[in-house]
Structure 1
Amino acid sequence: MNDASAPQKSLVRFLILPALGLLAAAILADVLGRAAGWGALGRGPSDSSRVALTFDDGPSPRTLELLAILERRDARATFFVTAPACAAHPELLQKLLDSPHQIEAHGRWHRHALLLTPWQEWAQIVWHPRGAQAGALLYRPPYGGHSPLTRLLARLAERQIALWDVESRDWTDADAPALAQQTLARIRPGSVVLLHDGPAVTPELLGLLLDGLKERGLQAVTLAELPMRRIGLRQGLKRIWASYGG
């Protein structure tokens, strides 16, 4: 009886242990890469009067409205665009490239890193709307998601991972005043705020955020102007607490 069950137990160990190892690696990559963000670029100096507003997922039919609001308020922002959106709206991509705003990459697909094969994730990270021109190029992973390979591939592609510390939650059903109130309550000097280029609520929310920032003497700038700083141990621990404990 024992002899017959031994091969079965060996087979179970052969199949389950690697699967558990892969699962543990995926969880660790998410905690260290997205939640803690150690080694990625995060918020800027806390002793400045600058805040960075960033927009993911564009360009979209709302891009021109967002650009108009930013221009009226003499504010600058950073747009993380995707390859499908750029292909669908090439004229809007050109508007962004011709604007005073910073244009960076959000990937070839809006898909979590764990749902990409290694060669797909390489293609995801190496793509950039400005091509391979000189200068530091930023990559913001969709959902901030990391696989065990994300940081290594980003390093090989000479890309810097750019995260955020305040989320506007403009993808929810809440109205603009409620979103603005809760977002402004979390913003501090040096904050990097995540918004999206697409939701119907975002233009109104943007206007309210810019009003609130002005009242507090804060200026909306690009990530390059902020500038971003690498997330260290202390800030990473705070990010984990905010994600899972706060």
Structure 2
Amino acid sequence: MKAGTALAAAVLAADVLGRAAGWGALGPGPRTRPRVALTFDDGPGPRTLELSAVLERHGAPATFFVTAPHTAAHPNLIQALADAGHELEAHGIWHRPALLLPPWMEWAQVRWHPRAGQPGLLFRPPYGGHSPFTRVLARLARRRIALWDTEGRDWLDLPATELARHTLEQVRSGSVILLHDGPEVTPELLDLILHGLHERGLTPVLLRDLPMQRIGVRAGLARLRASYGL
């Protein structure tokens, strides 16, 4: 019974401290600079070139957190993103919450990266999920966990105008905006967000140019309140 209680406590702590609070991970950049970072999870795929075209039209760079299977299936898209000046970072091998992966699979998940061998490698866990091992494995693999503070919610069945309005209400200087390379609505949503950022005097930059900052206690408490509606 005690072992089961300890395991449940470790799982709960991983979710609360790692995903919801994000303590120790990388989050938004300085709030004093009029910069934001656009990030896309799950690609590359059929929507990648359309997203890249929207970004090019606005002169905006972005960071793409790509998966191993999609990278292997679409090496031409990976090269196209790199050639366009976008940043490529890791979203893992299996798009599953970390708690559903045994430790040896999570080790492979954290270690994989499309730019293996280069410095400053980031890993964004699917769903932002953490197991009790995630941070330890990331440290061993010399990866930094990269989260976000603003969600485009493009997985919802809502009009792009409504999603853009909600996103732009949340965004601030230094924000890291989470979008996805896949949903049909995302290219239109991206266009609306970019127009809105321009009107607010906010400039999109790559994550490395933001730059992201470590999430401390105060920022983590604010994330906790937002995550659980407190």
TM interval, short-chain normalised: over 0.9
Q: Which residue of 2 aligns with 1:190?
A: 174
The alignment of Structure 1 onto Structure 2 pairs a total of residues equal to: 230
Superposition deviation, residue 245 in structure 1:
2.5
Separation (CA, whole Å) in 2 of partners of 1:245 and 1:25: 23
What is the rounded CA distance, in whole Å, between the counterparts of 2:181 and 2:8 in structure 1? Answer: 33
Structure 1 moving runs of 4+ over 4 Å? none
Task: Report what 1:11 is aligned to.
Answer: none
Alignment of 1:65-104 (within 5 A): 65-104=50-89
Cα distance in 2 for partners of 1:141, 1:173 equals 24
Give the CA deviation at 1:95. 1.1
Shift of 1:198: 0.3
CA distance in 2, matches of 1:119, 1:143: 19
For residue 229 of structure 1, the aligned residue among 204, 209, 213 is: 213
Mean alpha-carbon deviation: is it higher for 136-145 or for 84-93?
84-93
| 1:55-104 CA distance string (max 9 Å, x none) | 00000101001111101101011000000111221211121222211100
Residue aligned with 2:207, SS: coil
* Match in the other structure for 2:93: 108
- Deviation, 1:186, is 0.3
* Distance across 2 between alignment mates of 1:172 and 1:69: 21
CA shift, 1:19, in A, is: 2.1
Counterpart in the other structure of 2:134: 150
Unaligned runs of 5+ in 1: 1-15
Aligned counterparts of 1:138 and 1:20: Cα–Cα separation in 2: 33
> Which stretch shows the higher mean deviation, 17-26 or 120-129?
17-26
Matched, 1:205 2:225: no
Sequence identity of aligned pairs in percent? 67
Distance of 1:19 and 1:98 partners within structure 2: 50
Aligned AA for 1:190?
G
Letter of the structure 2 residue corresponding to residue 159 of structure 1: R
Superposed CA deviations along residues 99-150 of structure 1, whole A, max 9, x for unmatched, are 21110000011111001111100100000011222x1100000000000010
AA in 1 matched with 2:138: A
Give 1:175's aligned residue.
159
TM-score (ref. length: structure 2): 0.98
Provide the residue aligned with 1:44 in structure 2.
29
Q: 2: CA distance between counterparts of 1:149 and 1:210?
A: 37
Structure number with greater Rg is 1
Residue identity matched to 2:38: L
**How far apart, in 1, do the equivalents of 2:81 and 2:110 lie?**
20
**Secondary structure, aligned partner of 2:138:** helix
Letter in 1 for 2:51: L
Secondary structure of 1:245's match? Answer: coil
Q: Give the aligned partner of residue 139 of structure 1.
A: 123
Residue-by-residue CA offset, 1:137-181 (whole Å, 9 max, x unaligned) = 000000000000100000000000000001111001011000000
* Separation (CA, whole Å) in 1 of partners of 2:126 and 2:31: 26
- Other-structure match for 1:165: 149
